[in-house]
C-alpha cells in the first residue's frame, strides 16, 4: 500500500500531467523540450514533522519542486502561460482529491539558459508545499 507521501506526490504528478506541457517525475532534462513546455516534478524534502500524540500523527510540510522549462522565440509568453496553468491546476483542488490538507506553490525563480546552436531555454524552479499527515515517519 503506498504511503501518504507517495500518494500525495503521485496525485500532484497526475495533476501536472493533465496540463498541455509534458510532465515527468524525477527524470533528467531531455535533449529536446516539447513546444508546449516541460515540467519535471522533484520529490523534494518532507522536512521535520510536527507530532501529535493522541492519536500519534506526523504532520508534514513537504517541499517538492517543479522544474518548468520552455524554449522558443516567444519563451517569455510561453513561460508565463505555463506557470499560470500550474497555478490554476493547483488552485482547482487544493487537497488533491482529499489526499493532503493543502497544496500551495511559491513564486518561481526564473533563469534564461543559453543553448549552443538553438534557442535559449527559460526555466524556473517552482517550490510546492504539500501539507499532509501520516501515522509513521516512514509511511
Strand partners, 22: 38
Q: What is the pLDDT of residues 123-138, one digit of tens each?
A: 999 999 999 999 999 8
35 neighbors 20 (Cβ within 8 angstroms): no
Q: Name every residue whose Cβ is closer than 8 Å to that of residue 88 and which is 6 or more positions away in sequence.
A: none
Q: Return d(Cα 60, Cα 36) in angstroms, integer.
A: 33
C-alpha cell at 41: 516534478
- Residue count of the chain, please give it: 139
The rounded percent of the chain whose pLDDT value lies above 90 is: 80
CA-CA distances (angstroms) from residue 124 to 23, 42, 105, 129?
14, 13, 13, 16
Q: Return d(Cα 61, Cα 52) in angstroms, integer.
A: 14
Q: What is the pLDDT of residues 21-64, one digit of tens each?
A: 999 999 998 888 999 999 999 999 999 999 999 899 999 999 99
pTM: 0.92
Q: Which of 138, 131, 133 is nearest to 62 (CA)?
A: 131
Amino acid at each position: 500500500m503506498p504511503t501518504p507521501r507517495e500518494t500525495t506526490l503521485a496525485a500532484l504528478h497526475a495533476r501536472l500531467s493533465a496540463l498541455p506541457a509534458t510532465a515527468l517525475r524525477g527524470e533528467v532534462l531531455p535533449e529536446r523540450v516539447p513546444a508546449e513546455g516541460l515540467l519535471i516534478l522533484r520529490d523534494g524534502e518532507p522536512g521535520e514533522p510536527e507530532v501529535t500524540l493522541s492519536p500519534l500523527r506526523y504532520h508534514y510540510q513537504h517541499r517538492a519542486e517543479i522544474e518548468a522549462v520552455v524554449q522558443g522565440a516567444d519563451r517569455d509568453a510561453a513561460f508565463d502561460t505555463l506557470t499560470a496553468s500550474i497555478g490554476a491546476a493547483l488552485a482547482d483542488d487544493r487537497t488533491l482529491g482529499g489526499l493532503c490538507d493543502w497544496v500551495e506553490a511559491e513564486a518561481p525563480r526564473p533563469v534564461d539558459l543559453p543553448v549552443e546552436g538553438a534557442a535559449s531555454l527559460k526555466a524556473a524552479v517552482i517550490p510546492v508545499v504539500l501539507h499532509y499527515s501520516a501515522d509513521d515517519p516512514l509511511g
